Amino acid sequence: MITLTPLSSSAAASSSSEPVCYLLELDDARILLDMGQKDYRTSSLQTSWDYEEKVRELAPTLSLVLLSHSPTTYLSLYPYARARWGLSCPVYATQPTVEMGRVVCLTEVESWRAECPVEDASDIANGNRAEGSRPNKGKKPLRGPFVPTMEEVHEAFDWIKAIRYNQPLHLGGDLSHLLLTPFPSGHTLGGTLFKIRSPTSGTILYAVGINHTSERHLDGMVGGQNGPTGYAEGVMRPDLLIIEGGRSEVVNVKRRDRETALLDLVTSTLESNHSVLLPCDPSPRLLELLVLLDQHWTFKLNPTTKRRQTSSTDPWSYPLCLVSRTGQDMVSFARSLIEWMGGVVKEAGGEEVVGDLAGNKRGGKRRRNAGATLGSEYGALDFRHVQFFLSPADLLQAYPLMKPKLVLAIPSTMSHGPSRFLFTTMASTEGNVVLLPSRGEDNTLARDLYKRWEVEQDEGSKWSRGRIGRTSGLKGQLQLKMDFKVPLIGLELESHLESERLAKEREAAHQAAVDRSKRMLEADDLDESESEGSEDGEEADGIIVRRRDENVNANAFAGDGEDVKTMSFDIYVKGQQMRVNRGVPGEMTRFRMFPFLERKGRKVDAYGEGLDIGQWVRKGREIEEEGETEEVREKKKQKEEEEERQKVQPEAPSKYISETFTLDLKASIFFVDMDGLHDGQSIKTIIADLQPRKLILVRSKEESTSSLVKYLNSTSGITNDIYSPSTEEQIKIGEHVQSYSITLGDSISVGLAKKWSKFEGYEVAMIDGKIAFAPGSTVPVLEAAEMVKPLPIETAPEEEQNEKKVMVEASSMERKDDDDTEMTSEPAKEATVETAQDEANNVSTKSEPDVAEEAIDHTKLTIAAPQLQPVKVTPSQLPTSLYIGTLRLSSLKSYLSTLNPPIPAEFAGEGILLCGPGLQTTEGEKVKSGSIIVVKKVGEGGIVVEGTVGKVYDLVSKSVSEQLARVNAA
């Protein structure tokens, strides 16, 4: 049984920017597919967190989590769930997804915490963190955003198990029956299509975030040269395909046109002495932009020569800047993951740079190679022209506001961080351009700016219409809320420092009380015994023993000014026998409890030797220092210096403030889709090529879903089992299948050595045998039929009487030579041959025929055994072999063209393929007999090959057989 429940981004979602998360229940496993989260600012403004509540409820019960992509909409909720909600199951993702996802989450967390207050786990020690052990008790109502700490992010991503493309992974534990295989999906570095195979439920392919075309740093989904369809064999014909349909009505602009429009706008803006602000995500799609722009800078700086060092006199002196706290870390990770990339990064190794995309295509290759950069250590990921800045302040200090520059700032939503701040400084300058590479999430500044741009466009130039729009100006005013973290000054700083001083004093007093209590509980090893020494002290065997003052620590509970000699207790204490009435006369005397008794320590050990622990510690330190070499001392010193440098300086006292600004918008805005996703025609072609048996659509609007379902239903060859669930709607596919264990006996196993045939990743064979049970075993054994003896048939006494009557009547019929016996279809008890023989020996020859005839109704006789001879039954024989699978005539046509020599083939109608060299005869030439063979598909799975027997016929028949899986009998 397969059950899919969309927790978010369903087929009826109100927005395609919702986080991606689906619960897949497969057999007894609960698998969570992705775990995204909305933008932090959007999450802080919403009032309902149903999706997060559901994830928190499911987290402790999950069996497996699969992360397919690294953007925030796919995995940003995972670190918080891992740290606070009791998520402890295995998590799988590719290595690039792990590293890039870590960078994305760290960037978002650090950027948000630098502007807005966040409730940490230490503030809610009795809240969410305790929920992992008690998932159903004591839960606090959720309130976003859900921002983990930096340590929690590192810990969560260290927990993920990295996997590689195309390598089947047998899961362990309760998931040992499942086989997981990742395939590349395009769109992002490390993006994954997950294939899950269950022996009872079939194959499931989870495909979201698909891009079938190659880019500058990535190849398309599942490779591009895997057979005639372009897909790997492992993803073909899944039993269930989970795929997104939100872009089914989108028409993408050609990649060349998009890149040309982007670079032309950047070039014209910079040359007019204005700046470009390009908000981008922290990692996944940033690499594509960096490769494109860095190669464009290389071409501009080196238009004719291959190697020329840049200088201040270069005509193209505009800086290419990236403002991100984790930008350099992201590039470092990316350089270690080149094997996961494609395009010019892997093939050209940095030698191919972008040329004049607006120029003619004939000279494109020469132009692209003309500006090649040779000798680069990291190839296209060298990024020699990109300058990294940690904050907008560092950028503005290096390049003033009026200096023309291209600035890439995170995040792409512009809801917080450097991109939001830089927008407030650049949007009020006429001539500047805000370049949007994506539409952004709902209720974010990026989506608001996109809507302003879309209103100004013609109907045919809007997004999803297949055409590039035009630049439009921002008009009017915009109120923008800005959050800051500012240091405290003046009275606020003094008040904060005073409160900290008081807190430290309270902590010190508490620690002193704890230390005093410990000291009072410890024994004094130098205390003198009662029988030794003098009043002040004496020396015995080289050990100086001093007597403690009798009033010191006489009672740990004595108050200031109290005489310990006048204290009384409710138990007998030597020297403390006096009682004091502290109340009115006649009141019951009160006593103190728990007296402090000083323990007498031992000044020597069991052998009479005095103990000096400090001496042993000093001696051990000296031995350790003498054994160290100069190299070890140097390394230890360097380590201490490194730890000292890495110590985080205490942050200055600060506070969070919010201000609302009113901006006069004068800059221009332009949108070009650089998300790297499929379009409508692509998703329809992909579904048709994959040929799934069942299909579930997710991450789509209702209009797009209905349009795609309508198209798929009207297309032949595509399944009609299409589901489009809404949020939290369960889709159940299949039925519960009872699986049984059986052991193959030696008589069958020996014959299977060379009988296995491969079919869709399985190895199958056809066998014939009988089941037998070994003594003391509950698992049946399948043996060859001739090795298993038949079980004896036991009959009930009543059945034996009925069989006797039948045999008596049969004997009387034999004596009457009655050969004409009527047969009916009414049920009757059959008599076995063995029973008939026994009865023939036991029946008396004196049986009365007349009585027998009266007892027989000849119209209801079902068995006649005139001779009572044993009947030899021949069991039905299985065929020696059979073919399984579905023949696709298009695949057969492609296969025939690969033969040597190739056999031409043409379609003559639906389900008919003409093959043979006779198709290429010239006009008027006589077609030779046997040169054309017809392959037809008839009925349900029927295949007919017609033609004259000959060489061509044999080749075509053999090719048809090779397109199917042959299963041989054992």
Over the stretch 651-696, which tens digit does the pLDDT of each residue have? 778 888 899 989 999 999 999 999 999 999 999 999 988 889 999 9
In this predicted structure, the answer to whether residue 421 has a pLDDT above a threshold of 80 is: yes
Q: What pLDDT, on the 0 to 100 scale, is given for residue 125?
A: 44
Residue 16 φ/ψ, nearest 5 degrees: -80, -5
The closest of 724, 717, 726, 729 to 695, measured between CA atoms, is 724
Higher pLDDT, 370 or 557: 557
> Rounded CA gap, 433 and 670, in Å?
7
User: Is residue 909 helix, strand or coil?
Assistant: strand
Residue 378: pLDDT above 70? yes
What number of CA atoms fall less than 13 Å from residue 284's CA on the CB side?
29
Does residue 946 carry a pLDDT above 70?
A: yes
Provide the H-helix boundaries in 818-900.
833-842, 849-855, 889-897
Q: How confident is the model at residue 460 (pLDDT cuts 50, 70, 90)?
A: confident
Question: 518 or 513, which is more confident?
Answer: 513
Helix, strand, or coil here: 805?
A: helix
Give the whole-number percent of the chain exceeding pLDDT 90.
36
Amino acid at 46: Q
The kind and range of the H/E element at 875 are none
Q: What is the rounded CA–CA span in Å between residue 538 and residue 306?
A: 93
Q: Read off the pLDDT of residues 125-159 as tens digits, 9 standing for 90 and up.
A: 444 443 444 444 446 678 878 999 999 999 999 99
Residue 420: φ, ψ to 5°: -70, -45
Phi, psi dihedrals of residue 331, rounded to the nearest 5°: -65, -40
pLDDT for the residue numbered 716:
81
3-state secondary structure 94-138: EHHHHHHHHHHHHHHHHHHHCCCCCCCHHHHCCCHHHHHCCCCCC
Whether the predicted pLDDT of 849 surpasses 70? no
Range of weakest confidence among 335-349, 427-441, 486-500: 335-349
Could you tell me which residue, 716 or 438, shows the higher pLDDT? 438
Range from 257-271, 383-397, 912-926 carrying the lowest mean pLDDT: 912-926
Query: How confident is the model over 22-40, as a mean pLDDT?
Result: 93
Separation between Cα atoms, residue 197 and residue 204, nearest integer Å: 6
Question: Is residue 101 pLDDT above 70, yes or no?
Answer: yes
Q: Per-residue confidence at 764, pLDDT binned at 50, 70, 90?
A: confident
Return the higher-pLDDT residue of 524 and 45. 45
- The residue length of the chain stands at 970
Indicate the helix (H) or strand (E) that contains 436: strand 433-436
Tokens of 959: 């090719």
Q: Is the pLDDT of residue 798 over 90?
A: no
Which helix (H) or strand (E) is 199 found in, with range?
Answer: none
